[in-house]
Copies of this chain bind each other. A is one copy, B any other.
């Protein structure tokens, strides 16, 4: 009877090596570049060892994405405009790096077709949206935003332009742009008209 108290360090090692290689490959060559052969070659792990831990490249990829847990935090100083600018600027940096720039399109494309990836993508994105939603909820409570505002659309108006500029037009995401967005959206949202 093998107890599951401490997993065999060999398993941990090979597992980690494969997942890391998978992450790198999807960032470099995209989705299609993640093949068992390629992962084996890059990680130094034997092909057969990978098959012992995952059924195929799909399961491997799901685990690889799930392992990527970078948390985004929105400050809460009381100054809504400054907090949003700071948080979105951090998002902008993330989008500029490999995670946002290379992983994201691959993931969106995959999510559009494979339901397994769709669910993974959903939880991935939801987790990253939560800090912003929390900060906005707090702003409504403290009276910084009107109570009848649509939070979902508001979030889309804040984050959407950044993704748009990164994915579609490949324009820069400097501080000026971020602050312009925050100012416009906040001012446009305050006046109930």
A residues near B (Cβ < 8 Å) are: 29-32, 101-102, 105-106, 108-109, 112-113, 122, 125, 129, 150, 152-153, 156-157, 159-165, 167-171, 177, 180-181, 183-189, 191, 193
Contact = CB atoms under 8 A, between A and B. Distances in A.
Contact of A188 (B32, B163, B186): B186
A185 B154 CA distance: 11
B191 A187 contact: yes
Given A108-B167, A189-B188, A30 B113 contact: yes
A185 B157 contact: yes
Nearest to A150: B180
B160 A165 contact: yes
A171 B159 CA distance: 14
8 contacts: A105-B105, A108-B109, A129-B169, A153-B161, A156-B169, A157-B160, A163-B168, A188-B188
A164 to B, nearest CB: 3
A160 B171 CA distance: 13
Contacts of A153: 161, 177, 180-181
